[in-house]
Amino acid sequence: MMTLGRTLIVTAAATLAALQGTGLIARAQSASPPGVSGAWVPMGAGRGVDPKIAPPPASPVVLKPEYAKAYDARRAAEAEATRRGEPPASAAVLCNPYGMPRMMSIASYPIEILPTPGQITIVTEAFSEVRRVYLDQPQLPIDEVPPGYYGHSVGRWEGDTLVIDTVGIKESVPGYNGMPHSSQMRIVERIRLVAPDVLHDQITIHDPVVLEKPLTYTLGYRRLPNYKMVEFVCENNREYVDEQGRVKMRLGK
């Protein structure tokens, strides 16, 4: 029996060492706390929302002067065109997905958070966008990430808070409130439950090229129990952009 017991201990130790070698132990340690998985719908800080769970106001967008002038002029021109009934085209008119970070804040469309060992996947209903957050892995240098809509995200649990670091967002992907950003943008999210059915995602945008100082805003979500995400395939887009850059609608016959 002693021999068998010793064999078992040796085997267990060897298995543990092997698991540590493959990183499986580290992944198990960062298993997601229960509560964040499932569907969530954006919740603002509007009328009727309990101030205790309402997302706090965003900090102002402070662009460097060389970017601020063009940004302000563009915003004013867009507002004026909309007032004339000639709304300017946005990427979404062409059914291009939002990308990070706007995909997290699409009014009225739920997101779904899917924790699995070593990874958290976030799926949005609008345009069926998908982002994958790799847990407990080092972030890649920005210049090694192929620029894209979702970039490269790594995450870790700090107690009850999921901290996600994202880099590698294409410069052509519109930023928060349409603000410009550079290839050096870094998005840091702190996601946590502030009530059993209310989630906050505090997003901080770091961009040493475009921003005078980091920008922080918080998104709120309400849990949608048993919600089944609806598919979203952009197959019948009747909107198009005419020669003057105005959004028009194709009519049926």
- Those residues whose C-beta lies under 8 Å from the C-beta of residue 58, and which sit 6 or more positions away, are 215, 216, 217, 218
First to last CA, the chain: 86
Query: Least distance from C-beta 124 to another protein, angstroms?
Result: 9
- Those residues whose C-beta lies under 8 Å from the C-beta of residue 135, and which sit 6 or more positions away, are 27, 30, 118, 119, 120, 154, 155, 156, 157
Of residues 5, 138, 159, 225, which one binds another protein by CB under 8 A? 225
Classify the C-alpha dihedral 77-83-87-92 as positive or negative: positive
User: Which of residues 157 and 217 has its CB atom nearest to another protein in the complex?
Assistant: 217
Binding segment (CB under 8 A) for another protein, from list 20-28, 52-60, 142-150, 151-159: 52-60
- Those residues whose C-beta lies under 8 Å from the C-beta of residue 75, and which sit 6 or more positions away, are 178
**193 binds another protein, rule: CB under 8 A:** no
Classify the C-alpha dihedral 219-235-92-166 as positive or negative: positive
Query: Least distance from C-beta 119 to another protein, angstroms?
Result: 26
DSSP code, position 193: E
Residue 47, H or E segment: none
Of residues 19, 68, 89, 130, which one binds another protein by CB under 8 A? 89
Q: How far apart are CA 222 and CA 167, in angstroms?
A: 27
**197 binds another protein, rule: CB under 8 A:** yes
Binding segment (CB under 8 A) for another protein, from list 3-11, 100-108, 113-121, 135-143: 100-108
Binding segment (CB under 8 A) for another protein, from list 112-120, 158-166, 208-216, 228-236: 228-236
**175 binds another protein, rule: CB under 8 A:** no
- Those residues whose C-beta lies under 8 Å from the C-beta of residue 55, and which sit 6 or more positions away, are 43, 44, 45, 200, 217, 218, 219, 220
User: Which of residues 43 and 135 has its CB atom nearest to another protein in the complex?
Assistant: 43
User: Which of residues 3 and 108 has its CB atom nearest to another protein in the complex?
Assistant: 108
**188 binds another protein, rule: CB under 8 A:** no
Q: Which residues pair with 42 in a beta bridge?
A: 221
Of residues 52, 226, 243, 244, which one binds another protein by CB under 8 A? 226
Q: How far apart are CA 103 and CA 127, in angstroms?
A: 9
**151 binds another protein, rule: CB under 8 A:** no
Query: Least distance from C-beta 135 to another protein, angstroms?
Result: 26
**220 binds another protein, rule: CB under 8 A:** yes
Query: Which residues of the shown chain bind another protein in the complex (CB under 8 A)?
Result: 41-46, 49, 54-55, 57-58, 82-90, 92-93, 95, 98, 102, 105-109, 125-127, 197, 217-227, 230, 232-239, 246-249, 251-253
